[in-house]
A = this chain, B = another copy of it.
Amino acid sequence: MTFIHKLSEAWRTSNSLLMVGLDPDPGRFPAEIREHPEAIFEFCRSIVDATAPYACGFKPQIAYFASEHAEAQLEALCAYIRGHYPALPVVLDAKRGDIGSTAIQYAREAFERYQSDAVTVNPYMGRDSVQPYLDYDGKGVIVLCRTSNPGGSDLQFMRLDNGTPLYLHVAEMVADQWNANGQCALVVGATYPDEIAQVRQRVGDMPLLIPGIGAQGGDIEATVRAGRTQAGTGMMINSSRAILYASAAGDWREAAAQAARTTRDAINRTRASASKC
């Protein structure tokens, strides 16, 4: 099953557009788990179990594992999700970007070592830097377009000589050229709902990965109104820290589940009301 098909099925069967981001920061772990020899895996596994009923997928952020020498725990985590929640896609958030011969190695890392369903990539080096990921049949390739951080504007909002801002040029290039086999999606931050709408207008039903709600302050209602497709889906709305660290006390699993459920429900309320407009 392709990433896009698996994602569409997950949207439908879980009735959720919530992607749970796995950014494990040991300094913020509950005391009971800190001394565990595989604390990162244990923490993430518990979060996965607690939030799976409310999620359309999981997005481990590889930097948090790499800085802690925890690649083996990331492998175990990806295998755990595949084994226990085979209907939920795993997006490896790596934002890789390099020339073809090196990109081949990064694609092996994402799709063979970690066996993720999709990977995030950076468009700055152009089409041939993304091709090695596209060469994996059915795998998802999620291209950075408009990012949720303040500095995102430094380059992405520059206007080209035809008046188009760079991020929209990226959206059009991916939709018109890179998506020949229907494997692509785009990252568009929730902090800029008007720009989500601009992107949606240009890319048809292409899925959007939307970070920036929760800890980063993006508005759920504005995000859903801007990004939904005709079918009321089309988005992986990511929340990481607001779920992972909802509580540092003994109730951290329940608090994470509650935060995920609340976020999913807030998304769904706007989805429903937006459909009626």
Contact = CB atoms under 8 A, between A and B. Distances in A.
A63 B105 contact: yes
Interface string A153-165: 1111011110100
Interface stretch (A1-9, A50-58, A123-131): A123-131
Copies of this chain, whole number: 2
A105 B161 contact: no
Contact of A144 (B61, B125, B149, B211): B125
Contacts of A159: 160-161
A166 B161 contact: no
Contacts of A101: 23, 241
Given A61-B98, A69-B113, A155-B166, 10 more contacts: A63-B105, A95-B96, A95-B97, A97-B122, A124-B124, A126-B153, A126-B154, A129-B147, A129-B149, A129-B151
A218 interface: no
11 contacts: A61-B105, A63-B105, A66-B106, A67-B109, A95-B122, A125-B155, A126-B150, A127-B151, A160-B161, A161-B161, A166-B166
Given A95-B97, A102-B61, A148-B99, A156 B124 contact: yes
A152 B100 CA distance: 11
B163 A149 contact: no
A159 to B, nearest CB: 4
A61 B101 CA distance: 11
